[in-house]
Amino acid sequence: MKREEISIKVILVVLLLVLFSSLILIGCGNYKIFMFDNNIANCEFEYPASYVVGDIIRGDFSTIAFALFTYKQVESSTNWSTAYISISGRQKDVSFPDYHALLEYNLKNAQQQYSIYGFNLVERSPLSIENVLGEKIIYNYINPWDSEIIEDEIVKMGPISGIAYEAYFENDGFLWTILFHATAQISAQAKADFEHILQTFKFLN
């Protein structure tokens, strides 16, 4: 009986390990790794696997590094602008000597663009990425110009409620911005994905 009990326990342990490993793999499968690797910007982060990589400037022959990720459409009838992620780094200059100046500039533009239709600053708080201090803002807005591409034609969809999660920080002479804009309907998932990007963002020295 003791041998049988031991065998059963061993089997249970093995099954639990297999189940645990499967859960880990499933979790990892929800995100992919993106890397800027050049003489201007060396960093990596994980972005949602449900997004596709769009425009990229890796910074080899430029003073900026930029990557755009757009939500992968499951159906052609879904709104093309459901969500997008923009991650960029640029060298400091006279116009933007620090991340505060860049944040204030972008925030002012957003307020001017959406204040007539609806703008609300939800949060403004400090953040830290690998001991690099920065700041993040969250705001709601109404986009009156949103549209959808149906059968290769642009069709105006009317006002869309959106939410923006934005992070600003600087490292080694570079100003970094992480912008995550999404429709209000998927704000909870967008927030989780935004936080995941912040948590996995690493500078490669």
Specify if 5 maps to a domain.
Answer: no
Q: How far apart are CA 194 and CA 150, in angstroms?
A: 29
Give me the CATH number covering residue 62: 3.40.1000.10
In this prediction the pTM is 0.76
Specify if 162 maps to a domain.
Answer: yes
Q: pLDDT at position 42, please?
A: 81
Per-residue pLDDT of the chain (205 residues; tens, 9 = 90+): 555 554 544 443 333 333 333 333 333 569 999 988 766 678 899 999 989 888 776 655 556 788 888 887 544 444 445 789 999 988 898 999 999 999 999 999 999 988 888 899 999 999 999 889 999 999 999 877 655 544 455 555 567 889 999 999 999 888 999 999 998 889 999 999 999 999 999 998 7
Q: pLDDT at position 158, please?
A: 63
Specify if 16 maps to a domain.
Answer: no
User: What are 86's two structure tokens?
Assistant: 């923009």
User: What are 89's two structure tokens?
Assistant: 């780094």
CB 194 within 8 A of CB 182: no
Q: pLDDT at position 63, please?
A: 66
Report the domain count for the chain. 1
User: What are 165's two structure tokens?
Assistant: 């999660």
Specify if 68 maps to a domain.
Answer: yes
Q: pLDDT at position 81, please?
A: 53
Of 142, 145, 185, 182, the closest CA to residue 164 belongs to 182
Residue given tokens 């696997």 in the structure block: 49
Strand order, beta sheet including 31-37 = 31-37, 42-48, 202-203
Specify if 15 maps to a domain.
Answer: no
Specify if 25 maps to a domain.
Answer: no
Specify if 55 maps to a domain.
Answer: yes
Pairing of strands 174-183, 83-91: antiparallel
Domain of 123, in residue numbers: 32-203
Specify if 18 maps to a domain.
Answer: no
